Amino acid sequence: MASSPPRPGGPAVPSSPVRVTVIGECVADAFTDAALSGPGELALRVHPGGGPANTAVALARLGTPVAFRARLADDVFGRLFRAQLAGSGVDLSGCVAAAEPSTLAVAEVDGEGRASFSFHAEGTADWQWTEAELAAVPPAGPVCVHSGSLALARDPGGPAIEAYLARAAASATVSIDPNVRPLLVDPAVYRERLPRWCALADVLRLSADDVGHLFPESGVEAVCDRFHEDGVPLVVVTLGPQGALASLNGERIAVPARRVEVVDTVGAGDAFTAGLLHRLDAQGLLGGRLDGLTVPAVAEACRFAAGVAALTCGVAGPNPPWADRL
């Protein structure tokens, strides 16, 4: 079942108080298109992407009032990002108008729908966060703050976001998705920062590829235990067609993937994260340290998240479903 594009005339901001704030990057995902390419040229189709932006869009389409905090350029890609986010109902009032250009990623998709990216990201808007910019919107208010990906891992802005998450943890559940990109950030940087992120976070969602980049000699369950030791109670590893493994303080939950005809897998992990946070919020579990979270509640939330991810795989690019498509 295909998901819908942004709906023209939809709300630019949520009609209810913000439940989740997402902080991070927008990336223009440019896909090679052989059918449109002529001799001596390469045609590209550009989708608005970036892990945190995809998560914010998916949350809004599921019905969670969400605010996105990003540094948005005033260029053709920045305008594309704004249209996608606002058309999906994301609150953009806390975004920064950036002087730097947008980040571009050129993607090739293999026969199984998996994308490999080359990035054009030096000196772009997403990594230039300052403490003053983040202090302009207080972290108090939402029940959850989600971040991660390149904006959290790259300097100079990453440490500023990390400090923001530490302030937010006083009143909100903190969710982090490392989204490891070894072409842009050495995995050693993630390994050095992850203990601090796990001490801040209540939810850590990562992919099997992330685990392979970070700890190639370790199995998924051993990596979950490592993250628990560093302080995060809920770790979820998405495993592609094998589903997902969730670990709540060491108690494991295996969640099967939903069957779908895959177009590509771009944005599927971000959609899974959004589905997980949406369902945890619907169960009244966000807003603290997840003290009331149970294994059955995790399993139910992960099954819902797997359905959201499957629908995202059924269409081209990071285009998560609206709630009425579930």
Write the DSSP symbol of residue 137: S
> How does strand 251-255 pair with strand 115-120?
unpaired
> How does strand 20-23 pair with strand 144-148?
parallel
- Per-residue model confidence (pLDDT) at position 174: 98
- Per-residue model confidence (pLDDT) at position 14: 46
- Per-residue model confidence (pLDDT) at position 3: 42
Residues in the chain with pLDDT values less than 70: 1-15
Q: What are phi and psi of 145, to 5 degrees?
A: -120, 125
Tokens of 72: 């948005």
Asked whether 244 and 269 are in contact (CB, 8 A), the reply is no
Tokens of 181: 């990109």
- Per-residue model confidence (pLDDT) at position 141: 85
Residue 278: Cβ within 10 Å count? 26
- Per-residue model confidence (pLDDT) at position 7: 53
User: CB-based burial of residue 116 (10 Å sphere; 0-12 exposed, 13-18 middle, 19+ buried)?
Assistant: exposed
Tokens of 24: 């991070």
- Per-residue model confidence (pLDDT) at position 15: 56
Please choose, from the candidates 200, 208, 247, 244, the residue with its C-alpha nearest in 3D space to the C-alpha of residue 226: 247
> How does strand 234-238 pair with strand 244-248?
antiparallel
